[in-house]
């Protein structure tokens, strides 16, 4: 089990950050992702695996005025 923004999620085999974002409905949105307090560089989203037991934080970037 992994935790995504404090909600339990059953991990899929070979779950990448990109796949997790797609499953969460983030699509191409501008987000920042941390796995166990480690900021994941955007260039690693397609290759970085999310291990079982991870605490994942996803923060949506929004513009305002």
Residue 7 has pLDDT above 90, yes or no: yes
pLDDT tens figures, 40-65: 999 999 999 999 999 999 999 887 76
**The pLDDT value given to residue 62:** 81
Which CATH number is correct for 2-60, 3.40.190.10, 3.10.20.30, 3.90.1720.10, 1.10.10.60? Answer: 3.10.20.30
Picking from 2, 57, 64, 60, the residue whose alpha carbon sits closest to that of residue 26 is 60
Query: How many beta carbons lie within 10 A of that of residue 26, not counting itself?
Result: 15
Read off the pTM: 0.88
How high is the mean pLDDT of the chain? 92
The CA distance from 65 to 4, in Å, is 29
């Amino acid at each position: 089990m992994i935790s995504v923004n404090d909600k339990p999620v059953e991990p899929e085999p070979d779950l990448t950050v990109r796949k997790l974002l797609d499953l969460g409905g983030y699509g191409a949105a501008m987000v920042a992702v941390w796995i166990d307090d480690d900021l994941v560089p955007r260039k690693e989203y397609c290759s970085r695996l999310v291990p079982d037991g991870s605490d994942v934080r996803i923060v949506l970037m929004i513009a305002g005025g």
